[in-house]
Amino acid sequence: MNSGRLASLRQWWQSLKQNQKIIFILGCTGVLVTIALLGQLVLRPSYAPLFTELEPRDAAKIIEQLESSKVPYRLTNNGKNIEVPEDQVYKLRIQMASAGVLQDSGVGFELFDEKKFGITEFEQQVGYQRALQEELRRTIVQLDEVEQARVHLVLPRESVFLDEQVAPSASIVLKLKNYAKLEPNQVMGIQSLVMGSVEGLKPENIHIIDTEGNVLNDSLALKSNEPLSTTAMERYEIQKNYEKEMESRIQQMLNRILGPGRAVSMVTAELDFDKQETVRTEHGPGAVLSDQTTTESGAGVAPGGVPGTDTEMPGDTMPLADGNTSSNYNREQRTTNYEVDTTQQTIIKSPGNIKRLSISVVVDGEYPQAQLDSIQQVVAAAVGYDAARGDQITVSSMQFNSPAIPGFDEPSGSQGAAPWASRNYLIAAGVAAGALLILAVLIMVLRRRARRRREELLRLEAEEAAKQSLAAEQPEEREIAIEEPKPGYRSKIKDIAREKPSEIVEVLKAWLRE
């Protein structure tokens, strides 16, 4: 059976033309190369980061340890990342930690584990300062956003003279991870940590900066007992959030009108955070509760006055014959009681009212003034523009600098080599799939041509055999005139029918249909 297959394969190969043989050989070679590449990618162990963002000195130590242990590795991200086989990551980390490779050049309080004789007080003070700096550094780098940190302490020696005492100070430099940002409460936590670790250290003597030169604790309160600073920060956050909300509303509206990226808006809001309380009391005319009138009148006789003196008596006085005087008096008193009508009103003005708004909108391109005025009216209505309040709004048009605007599809340089590696894998997989598809199509075409050629040969052989058999079945008297068939055809047709009965049946069916 194998010899028959080899013979048919040899016959099929000989039936191909020269260019078909070349194409077939090239296709097979491409398939083998593709299979070899894919096998190498699949069988190659997957690598995982052992350590990332290493300094050259630390990377050299780790590489030396890996080479001594004969562990395969590779460097990525310009030598800052070291990758090893994924199944050995945790084991190697433990080995590196036990070998002391992960320890930084600084030493903490383990510096005092070894007892040294003859050490001076100055050396002991310097050692304590080094140990404290390293311990603070190790604590600070535990934050997820912090990649590296340096702590510098100034610990002056104590003096018996008050005028010679110097306050301690601290400076901290932080290297943050890519796209990381410390929140104000985290910066305040670092400041509190250092302040609690150094005796006599005050918050104003702590300076925290990052590697870009930004002072991180500049906006924090200098003293923990000053609530005004916290209130100011809260007011600033409220104002900033309000401005962002207004800008977002304006931008959404302009995007629907002009299209995305065709306008830029900025809002500056001045809010009034003063709390005012006004108490106003009003008195009305009131109502009469009671009205009382008292009238008095009377007459009387009084003795004469002393000679030579004038006597003044109320009422009318008349002299009498006996020297006495008589008087009459009248008195009227009216008392009216009112119910006081009092109205008291307390007005409390809540903080956060808008004092003034300034809106600036710039649109891309050239627009007529009438259209700019329409945009200004729409924006003014959207933000609640009030001219009496002193609000300002400006809408102008100019050409945007499109090349300066970064696109979303630009690759970032800080991503390292991992995205490129995955992209290469995808390209290799695509090429391999394309090569396999081309080879499959080529094989199908060649097999179809070979099958047609084989059917044609079988048809010709079957026709020749049929002619020979018909000639053999003629009557005996005419048998002398017919030539004998060539020897070997019968046995050959029998062998073909025995090996490929289905194809012989197809040929016979084709003859019957004809």
Instruction: Tell me the pLDDT band of 297, cut-offs 50, 70 and 90.
Output: confident
Tell me: pLDDT of 479 over 50: no
Distance CA 157, CA 121 (A): 11
- For 377-428, what is the HEC assignment? HHHHHHHCCCCCCCCEEEEEEECCCHHHCCCCCCCCHHHCCHHHHHHHHHHH
Least confident of 40-49, 127-136, 175-184, 366-375: 40-49
Express each pLDDT in 436-470 by its tens digit: 777 777 777 777 777 777 777 777 777 776 666 66
Question: Which range in 303-307, 317-321, 323-327, 478-482 is most confidently predicted, on average pLDDT?
Answer: 323-327
What average pLDDT does the segment 200-223 reach?
80
Tell me: pLDDT of 66 over 70: yes
Distance CA 385, CA 389 (A): 9
pLDDT reported for residue 402: 63
Express each pLDDT in 150-198 by its tens digit: 999 988 877 666 666 778 899 999 988 888 888 888 898 999 999 888 8
Express each pLDDT in 344-368 by its tens digit: 788 777 777 788 899 999 998 888 8
pLDDT reported for residue 173: 92
Express each pLDDT in 315-329 by its tens digit: 555 555 555 666 777
Directed axis angle between helix 489-499 and helix 418-472, to 10°? Answer: 140
Question: Which range in 193-207, 275-289, 389-403 is most confidently predicted, on average pLDDT?
Answer: 193-207
Distance CA 430, CA 363 (A): 44
- For 205-237, what is the HEC assignment? HEEEEECCCCECCCCCCCCCCCHHHHHHHHHHH
Distance CA 459, CA 465 (A): 10
Sign of CA dihedral 491, 493, 495, 498: negative
Residues, the chain: 514
Q: Residue 93 is inside which H or E element, if any?
A: helix 89-99
Burial 227-251 (b: 16+ CB within 10 A, else e): eeeeeeeeeeeebeebbeebbeebe
pLDDT reported for residue 412: 40
* Strand duo 392-398 + 169-176: pairing: unpaired
- For 157-202, what is the HEC assignment? CCCCCHHHCCCCEEEEEEEECCCCCCCHHHHHHHHHHHHHHCCCCC
Distance CA 65, CA 182 (A): 35
Distances (CA, A) of 488 to 454, 493, 497: 20, 9, 14
pLDDT reported for residue 361: 92
Q: Residue 295 is inside which H or E element, if any?
A: strand 287-302
Query: Are the beta carbons of 263 and 361 closer than 8 angstroms?
Result: yes
Which residue matches tokens 């062998």? Answer: 495
Query: Are the beta carbons of 177 and 142 closer than 8 angstroms?
Result: no
Tokens of 309: 């003196």
pLDDT reported for residue 142: 86
What average pLDDT does the segment 120-127 reach?
82
Tell me: pLDDT of 139 over 80: yes
> Within a 10 A sphere around the Cβ of 267, how many other Cβ atoms?
21
Tell me: pLDDT of 480 over 60: no
pLDDT reported for residue 202: 87
Tell me: pLDDT of 482 over 60: no
Query: Could you tell me which residues are beta bridge partners of residue 358?
Result: 268, 392
pLDDT reported for residue 419: 46
Which residue matches tokens 């008292």? Answer: 294
Instruction: Tell me the pLDDT band of 45, cut-offs 50, 70 and 90.
Output: confident
Question: Which range in 246-260, 397-411, 418-432 is most confidently predicted, on average pLDDT?
Answer: 246-260
Distance CA 116, CA 497 (A): 103
3-state secondary structure of 330: strand
* Max CA distance (Å), the chain: 217
3-state secondary structure of 11: helix
Question: Which range in 177-191, 425-439, 469-483 is most confidently predicted, on average pLDDT?
Answer: 177-191
CA-closest candidate to residue 438, choices 126, 144, 74, 24: 24
Question: Which range in 9-13, 25-29, 271-275 is most confidently predicted, on average pLDDT?
Answer: 25-29
pLDDT reported for residue 303: 59
